[in-house]
Amino acid sequence: MPQLIAGNWKMNGTLAGIAAYAAGLRAAAAYADLLICPPAPLIAPLRAALDGAPVALGAQDCAVQRSGAHTGDLSADLLAELGATHVILGHSERRADHGESSAIVREKARTAIAAGLIPIICVGETEAERDSGEAETVVRAQLAGSLPEELAGQTVPGVFAPGVIAYEPVWAIGTGRTPTEEDVAAMHASIRAALRRQLGAAGATMPILYGGSVKPSNAASLLALPEVGGALVGGASLKPEDFLAIASAAPRD
Ligand code: PEP
């Protein structure tokens, strides 16, 4: 199965910059599945600018509710209509900035699945939690609280995995620091064991992305680790050449 290299633009990107970005991606041959999650208003224009290039688009969040009186929130159904196939949920910036609990993330994941979107559910420990030896306990608790049971049985038409997990140590996001390869491998093994327990067969195959300061210079070693099924890339996804350099470091089957 090809790895998934997903870009999270966060609150970056402009309508004026879309054409050049899309041209940079269209120029490339990638050996991984590519996904870009721009700010929601850019999903449809980027889809159009990509002009059929094999790059999926996703959103960075969705509402718990599917429609209604929820000012400023984004409906998963509308995101799907705009061309999104995936939605990032429970990113640490949303957990911190918007007080999103794992219970809210689980409800959002249910809504996303019902709307036909593939949730990319983010988990990860803070630096203090790692330093105190609690990283695996914290991540397992986040998985237990954030994953809806629908992930065990639900399949999205045409898509192998109904969901994706992203392990993103909070202290590695945007800092240029990464865990050791041993720590990434140990955490991904722990996540795999938890997914099998929680979701059975679906948990055995669900991709587990690594995220946190992935860049062209460290991508090959991170992506080669056992149980790493791809990367969630923030800053380095803003330049198509860096994003593609990361994608071309993904191991080929
Ligand atoms: C992220 O925000 O998901 C992320 C991994 O950011 P960065 O790659 O910039 O550390």
**In a structure prediction context, what are the per-residue pLDDT tens digits for the chain, which is 253 residues long?**
889 999 999 999 999 999 999 999 887 666 789 999 999 999 999 999 999 899 999 999 999 999 999 999 999 999 999 999 999 999 999 999 999 999 999 999 999 999 999 999 999 999 999 999 999 999 999 999 999 988 987 555 545 568 999 999 999 999 999 999 999 999 999 999 999 999 998 899 899 999 999 999 999 999 999 999 999 999 999 999 999 999 999 998 6
Has residue 111 been placed in a domain?
A: yes
Residue 16 in contact with residue 49, Cβ under 8 Å? no
What positions carry a catalytic annotation? 91, 168
3-class DSSP string for 215-252: CHHHHHHHHCCCCCCEEEECHHHCCHHHHHHHHHCCCC
Separation of CA 210 and ligand 1 centre (Å): 10
Has residue 140 been placed in a domain?
A: yes
Has residue 168 been placed in a domain?
A: yes
Separation of CA 232 and ligand 1 centre (Å): 7
Nearest residue (CA) to ligand 1, atom 8: 234
Separation of CA 68 and ligand 1 centre (Å): 32
pLDDT at 152: 87
pLDDT at 31: 76
Which residues surround ligand 1 with Cβ inside 6 Å? 8, 168, 173-174, 211-214, 232-236
Nearest residue (CA) to ligand 1, atom 2: 234
Atom of ligand 1 lying closest to residue 233 CA: 8
Question: What CATH number has the domain bearing residue 59?
Answer: 3.20.20.70
Separation of CA 111 and ligand 1 centre (Å): 24
Has residue 244 been placed in a domain?
A: yes
Residue 178 in contact with residue 212, Cβ under 8 Å? yes
Residue 24 structural domain: 3-248
Residue 109 in contact with residue 146, Cβ under 8 Å? yes
Has residue 225 been placed in a domain?
A: yes
Integer Cα distance of 16 and 207 in angstroms: 33
Which of 170, 214, 217, 238 should be mutated for ligand 1, with most atoms under 8 A from CB?
Answer: 214
Which of 11, 171, 173 should be mutated for ligand 1, with most atoms under 8 A from CB?
Answer: 173
Nearest residue (CA) to ligand 1, atom 6: 234
Separation of CA 125 and ligand 1 centre (Å): 14
Q: What is the DSSP string of 137-188?
A: HHHHHHHHHH--THHHH---TT-S-S-EEEE--GGGTTTS----HHHHHHHH
Counting the structural domains of the chain, the total is 1
Integer Cα distance of 193 and 50 in angstroms: 38
Has residue 185 been placed in a domain?
A: yes
Nearest residue (CA) to ligand 1, atom 4: 234
Has residue 253 been placed in a domain?
A: no
pLDDT at 160: 53
Q: What is the DSSP letter of 64?
A: S
Has residue 141 been placed in a domain?
A: yes
